[in-house]
Amino acid sequence: MLAQLTINNYALINHLSIDFSSGLSIITGETGAGKSILLGALGLVLGNRADLSSLKDTSTKCIVEAKVAISNYNLEDFFNEVDLDYEAETIIRREILPSGKSRAFVNDTPVTLSVLNQLRTKLIDVHSQHQTMQLSDNNFQFSILDALAKNSARIASYKRGFIQLNKLKKELSLLEEQKKEANQQYEYNSHLFKELEEAKIKAEEQDELEEKLEKLNNIEDIKLNLSESLEITINEEIGIQNLLNTLENRLSKIATFSKEYQEISARITSVKIEIDDVVSELENANENVDFNPNEAEEINDRLQLLYNLQKKHSVSNNAELINVFEELSEKVGQVESADEFINAKQKQIDDVAVKLDKVADLISNARTKTIPKLNKQLQVLLTDLGMENARFSIKIKPTKNYFNNGKDELEFLFSANKGGSFGELKKVASGGELSRIMLSVKTILSENTQLPTIIFDEIDTGVSGEVSNKIAAIMQQMSSNMQVIAITHLPQIAAKGVNHYKVYKKEIKGVTTTNLKLLSKEERIQEIAEMLSGKDISDSALTHAKQLLN
């Protein structure tokens, strides 16, 4: 419920602060007095876009603040979702700075206009004449039917499945696109993969082969140097082994004379053991040196294969070549297993679709059962509003398509005259008829949903007499379930309000400002009398005004 509206430096308003109560509140005023300015300010605080033209004084900022009582709206979850502190009395504030920038706050926490717009749908429904065209909007028509059908929980469940279904369909489409792209390269990639697979490449193989080939290519030098090395070590006359043997014998004879000689002798013995081991290695190496031209040719061929593959794939070593092989393996594998993934994804889609179809059927059945009830309620209300011949043709058409609220198409046609043909509301209903239909619809919605505060901006345009009394009665009935604020020019409606506010202009020192005040009982009699007879209020108008108020 809108509890208070405070406006500073907006359009023709210097400062205005007004409290509102529950039930039916009435706002009246002469044409041009500024009723639209009030709605403009309210729209601003609820998320409408603004510019510097909103500022009365462009040197200071404009502030519009609304206090709303929200304890009955079950909005705790929404506040948590948008990361806001929940307060039973929430303050929404909008500021327009002289620079043209704007800021918005909910309970002093900065918010985006998107959050404000989400919040406004849960709090205040501002309905003006031009919004009657909303009646022709298919989504709005569905919302009427679904409210009576108590479909909100089913549609919430359906939407979750609908989101999941679309997500899975996008994933399937991506898999199919990937398969298509992969198929175009499959033959070539498969050839490259098999070529590398047959090569059986090992990471360290190239270094080992190059070393082995180097050895084979220098076999003569190796053989010669090994032989000469052996000759130097094992020659009986000048060989290192014989010399070390002699040296070891000499030192062993004096080793017992001092610790110093003993250490030298031990070191010579150690060197002799090392030389003996080297000689053994030289003999083995010399015996194993053998040139095999076939082996050299095989190594050459293998290395050439590796070099060619590296050049082909623009890499410099076997490790990188193995990476290429693994990438090709994945690409080839994707194609070969693509159908498996696609089939698995299609099964997921089919499973979700089966569940979604069941929920869609429940939604559709509830809608179909509700149509007679909606028809009857609309006809009763419209008869009271002077449209006794109004008829609706509402039909549900199940389809195979998935929409965001089910699988139905809705035909919502209207006929205002007896024997007249049915047609789209926007084509066959007049402005006054649309206003009365919208009022009837809002009445039905108020009885079946937890509607927010509703503000009617001259929805009574084009009606008078007994119909205006009926409109007033309907608004009174709606106000028992919700806060209703009606901007009206009809005295019959103005007299039904719990509170009556007047919008008026005032000129001070050549500057015009718009003001709003709550009327006392006597002021209210005067205002309604003026609405009845004009500026020159007659005694009969005063009497009539008192009768209306009583």
Nearest C-alpha neighbor of 439 from the set 494, 369, 384: 384
Has residue 365 been placed in a domain? Answer: no
Alpha-carbon span 480 to 190, nearest angstrom: 76
Per-residue pLDDT, 545: 92
Per-residue pLDDT, 157: 95
Nearest C-alpha neighbor of 7 from the set 51, 48, 38, 28: 38
The pLDDT of 480-487, averaged and rounded, is 90
Residues 182 and 316 reside in one and the same domain: yes
Residues 10 and 131 reside in one and the same domain: yes
Residues 213 and 319 reside in one and the same domain: yes
The pLDDT of 59-75, averaged and rounded, is 91
Alpha-carbon span 1 to 36, nearest angstrom: 20
Last residue of one domain, picked from the residues 338, 353, 372: 338
The pLDDT of residue 66 is above 80: yes
pLDDT digits (tens, 9 = 90+) for 217-262: 777 787 788 787 887 887 766 678 888 888 888 888 888 888 888 8
The pLDDT of residue 212 is above 90: no
Alpha-carbon span 431 to 133, nearest angstrom: 9
Number of domains in the chain: 2
Exposure letters 269-298 (e unless 16+ CB within 10 A, then b): beebeebeeebeebeeeeeeeeeeeeebee
Three-state DSSP class for 102?
Answer: strand
Per-residue pLDDT, 130: 63
Residues 141 and 195 reside in one and the same domain: no
pLDDT digits (tens, 9 = 90+) for 92-103: 999 999 888 899
Long-range contacts of 398-405 (CB under 8 A, 24+ apart): 398/364, 402/162, 402/165, 402/356, 402/360, 404/159, 404/162, 405/139, 405/142, 405/146, 405/155, 405/158, 405/159, 405/363
Per-residue pLDDT, 79: 92
The pLDDT of 125-149, averaged and rounded, is 84
Residues 214 and 307 reside in one and the same domain: yes
Structural tokens at position 36: 């639209």
Which residue type sits at 368?
Answer: T
If one compares 356 and 424, the residue with the highest pLDDT of the two is 356
Has residue 73 been placed in a domain? Answer: yes
Residues 190 and 276 reside in one and the same domain: yes
The pLDDT of 506-510, averaged and rounded, is 82
Alpha-carbon span 492 to 469, nearest angstrom: 6
Last residue of one domain, picked from the residues 338, 369, 399: 338
Per-residue pLDDT, 363: 97
The pLDDT of 405-410, averaged and rounded, is 95
Nearest C-alpha neighbor of 161 from the set 407, 409, 410: 407
Phi, psi of 429 (to 5 degrees): -105, 140
Per-residue pLDDT, 459: 79
Residues 411 and 284 reside in one and the same domain: no
Per-residue pLDDT, 19: 94
Which of 124-138, 165-179, 470-484, 527-541 is predicted least confidently?
124-138
Instruction: Label residue 131 by pLDDT band (50, 70, 90).
Output: low
The pLDDT of 367-372, averaged and rounded, is 96
Per-residue pLDDT, 435: 83
Has residue 542 been placed in a domain? Answer: no
Residues 436 and 309 reside in one and the same domain: no
Range of the domain at 290: 176-338
SS3 annotation, 260-317: HHHHHHHHHHHHHHHHHHHHHHHHHHHHHCCCCHHHHHHHHHHHHHHHHHHHHCCCCC
Exposure letters 463-485 (e unless 16+ CB within 10 A, then b): beeebbbbbbebbbebbeebbbb
The pLDDT of residue 135 is above 90: no
Residues 324 and 226 reside in one and the same domain: yes
The pLDDT of residue 86 is above 80: yes
Last residue of one domain, picked from the residues 311, 338, 365: 338
Has residue 353 been placed in a domain? Answer: no
Kindly report the average pLDDT of the chain as a whole number. 87
Integer distance in angstroms from the first to the last C-alpha of the chain?
27
The pLDDT of 316-330, averaged and rounded, is 86
Has residue 344 been placed in a domain? Answer: no
Has residue 532 been placed in a domain? Answer: no
CATH number for 466: 3.40.50.300
Is the pTM value of this prediction over 0.95? no
Residues 186 and 101 reside in one and the same domain: no
Has residue 355 been placed in a domain? Answer: no
Per-residue pLDDT, 236: 65
The listed range with the strongest mean pLDDT (50-64, 161-175, 411-425, 454-468) is 161-175
Structural tokens at position 199: 């090569």
Residues of the chain with pLDDT > 90: what percent? 39
Has residue 381 been placed in a domain? Answer: no
Residues 43 and 115 reside in one and the same domain: yes
Residues 135 and 191 reside in one and the same domain: no
Per-residue pLDDT, 368: 96
Per-residue pLDDT, 89: 93
Per-residue pLDDT, 370: 95
pLDDT digits (tens, 9 = 90+) for 31-62: 877 888 888 899 899 988 887 777 888 889 99
Torsion of CA 69, 70, 76, 78, to 10 degrees: -110
